């Protein structure tokens, strides 16, 4: 096919088409006329070379500007790229866009300087720690940057050199029929560099195992599973790459008196038979260590819950606090002195005496009235 044919006509696009439209047109035509899909067809092969040459020009902003101004004359006298090889390279660019993620990324982007791994540390704290917050310290074993070579992996005074096999890309490419296959360089294992004289301190890794102690601030209101991140305190990256992060997962130990539900605290408080019948005030120690005066209504039943506003857990990174919920457990006396037994015998006679319809308020109401006489 004559190369005097307009490049835009070859790709079946308008002269003012944007890069995305041109690429899509080339992809469609290249798939249609590729020699592997049309074996033995000379016309398809010639068409494929022509559209590949056209795309090679129009995808480059400088070449496209020159072509728009001077036409085919812009590439005369050795100024234009060849047809065949350039065509296949342009086609491989398309497949790199399509399959780049599966092949490990674009050309020239090796896996050098990969970020260090993140680490996890589990810490147990008390409910009081979760209420007040605290400053704690953690000791961990971690791969840290080698101080002798400053993480480069090369012996001090020397440096790594680009891998000759992959030219520093970390990957090598090979065309297999219709596809361009990209794999990790077998010489540098994807690093893109080769260390001829490794550092004796880290043996070329750029990292050494080391123990370190870190300070961590635990804010008030944390709950089971709360995660705290210490940026840059994870494993050092290979050969000077950025470090990972350290994640501290908090576990709140079970408390002997309180159960937690979000910001709400629940506790069980036993009260005497007389207090339950007549009502009164009880003192309940909260998680803050202060005593809270709780009013008990007369005739309260066992299992009933009372609420003290704002005496629960603080809101994490916020204002205010939840409630303290007190579940009342009425205690039945088991050891009675003669006087107590006498009084309870009298109360039982009151409970059993009279018709049921004459006692609509129940036993505790009648008991309260009896003591008020």
The tens digit of pLDDT for each residue in 221-231 reads 999 999 999 99
Question: For 74, how many CA atoms within 13 A lie in the half-sphere containing its CB?
Answer: 13
CA gap 128, 135 in Å, rounded: 13
Given a cut of 60, whether residue 358 has pLDDT beyond it is no
Using an 8 Å Cβ cutoff, are 163 and 196 in contact?
no
CA distances from 349 to 201, 353, 354, 356, 364 (A): 91, 6, 10, 14, 14
Listed by start position, the domains of the chain span 7-103, 119-252, 264-330, 333-373
Q: Which segments are annotated as binding site for Zn(2+)?
A: 146, 149, 163, 166, 185, 188, 199, 202
Give the Cα separation of 369 and 373 in Å (integer): 7
Contact 302, 243 (CB under 8 A): no
- 3-state SS class at 340: helix
Give per-residue pLDDT as tens, 14-30. 888 888 889 888 888 88
Q: For the domain made up of 119-252, give the CATH fold.
A: Chaperone, DNAj Protein; Chain A (2.10.230)
pLDDT digits (tens, 9 = 90+) for 184-220: 888 887 778 888 888 888 888 888 888 999 999 999 9
Whether the pLDDT of residue 366 is over 80: the answer is no
Phi, psi for 259 (deg, rounded to 5):
-115, 140
Structure confidence at residue 176 (pLDDT) = 67
Secondary structure of the chain: what % helix, strand, coil (to 5)?
Answer: 30, 25, 45
Q: What is the model's pLDDT at position 113?
A: 57
Q: Which CATH architecture has domain 7-103?
A: Orthogonal Bundle (1.10)
Residue ranges of the binding site: 146, 149, 163, 166, 185, 188, 199, 202
Q: Quote the pLDDT of residue 75.
A: 65
- pLDDT tens-place string over residues 69-97: 777 776 654 444 433 434 444 444 544 44
Distance CA 269, CA 262 (A): 21
Q: What 3-state DSSP class applies to 324? A: strand
| pLDDT for residue 85 | 39
Q: What is the Cα–Cα distance from 81 to 23, expressed in whole angstroms?
A: 18
Between CA 59 and CA 81 the distance in angstroms is 13
**Rounded mean pLDDT of 339-344?**
84
User: Rounded distance, CA 226 to CA 103, Å?
Assistant: 37
Q: Please, what sign has the CA dihedral across residues 361, 366, 368, 369?
A: positive
How large a percentage of the chain has pLDDT more than 70? 81
pLDDT at 76: 59
Predicted local confidence at residue 309, as pLDDT: 94
Give the pLDDT of residue 48: 86
Q: What is the pLDDT of residue 193?
A: 82
Please write the tens of the pLDDT for every residue from 276-332. Answer: 989 999 999 999 999 999 999 999 999 999 999 999 999 998 889 999 999 999 988
SS3 assignment, position 313: coil
- Helices marked H in 123-224 — which ranges? 127-132
What is the DSSP secondary-structure string of 52-82?
A: HHHHHHHTSHHHHHHHHHHGGGGGTTTTS--
Token pair 């970390």 is found at 170
Report CA-CA distances (Å) from 74 to 55, 63, 64, 80, 86. 15, 8, 10, 8, 17
Distances (CA, A) of 163 to 153, 166, 169, 313: 15, 6, 8, 59
Tell me the pLDDT of the chain averaged across its residues.
Answer: 81
Q: Which residues pair with 260 in a beta bridge?
A: 265
Summarize the confidence of residues 94-110 as an average pLDDT. 44
Residue 235 CB neighbour total at 10 angstroms: 21
Look up residue 156 and give its two tokens: 């001090």
pTM assigned to the model: 0.57
Name the CATH code of domain 264-330 (choices 2.60.40.10, 3.40.50.2300, 3.40.50.620, 2.60.260.20).
2.60.260.20
């Amino acid at each position: 096919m004559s190369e005097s044919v307009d490049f835009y006509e070859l790709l079946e696009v308008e002269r003012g088409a944007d890069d995305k439209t041109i690429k899509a047109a080339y992809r469609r035509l290249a798939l249609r006329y590729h020699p592997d899909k049309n074996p033995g067809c000379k016309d398809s092969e010639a068409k494929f070379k022509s559209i590949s040459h056209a795309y090679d020009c129009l995808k480059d902003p400088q070449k496209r500007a020159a072509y728009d101004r001077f036409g085919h004359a812009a590439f005369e006298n050795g100024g234009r790229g060849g047809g065949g090889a350039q065509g296949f390279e342009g086609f491989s660019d398309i497949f790199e866009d399509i399959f780049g993620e599966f092949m490990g990324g674009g050309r020239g982007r090796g896996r050098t300087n990969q970020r260090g791994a993140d680490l996890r540390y589990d810490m147990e704290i008390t409910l009081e720690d979760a209420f007040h917050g605290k400053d704690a310290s953690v000791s961990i074993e971690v791969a840290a940057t080698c101080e002798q070579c400053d993480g480069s992996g090369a012996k001090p005074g020397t440096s790594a050199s680009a891998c000759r096999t992959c030219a520093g890309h970390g990957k090598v490419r090979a065309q297999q029929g219709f596809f361009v296959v990209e794999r990790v360089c077998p010489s540098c294992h994807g690093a893109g560099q080769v260390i001829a004289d490794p550092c004796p301190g880290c043996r070329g890794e750029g990292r050494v195992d080391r123990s370190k102690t870190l300070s961590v601030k635990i804010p008030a209101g944390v709950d089971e599973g709360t995660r705290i991140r210490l940026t840059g305190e994870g494993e050092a990256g290979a050969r000077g790459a950025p470090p990972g992060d350290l994640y501290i997962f908090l576990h709140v130990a079970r408390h002997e008196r309180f159960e937690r539900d979000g910001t709400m605290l629940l506790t069980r408080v036993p009260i005497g038979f007389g207090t339950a019948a007549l009502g009164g005030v009880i003192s309940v120690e909260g998680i803050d260590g202060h005593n809270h005066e709780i009013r008990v209504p007369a005739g309260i039943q066992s299992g009933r819950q009372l609420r003290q506003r704002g005496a629960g857990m603080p809101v994490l990174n916020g204002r205010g606090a939840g409630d303290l919920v007190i579940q009342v457990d009425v205690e039945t006396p088991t050891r009675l002195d003669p006087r107590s037994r006498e009084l309870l015998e009298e109360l039982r006679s009151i409970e059993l005496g009279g018709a049921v319809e004459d006692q609509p308020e129940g036993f505790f109401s009648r008991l309260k009235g009896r003591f008020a006489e």
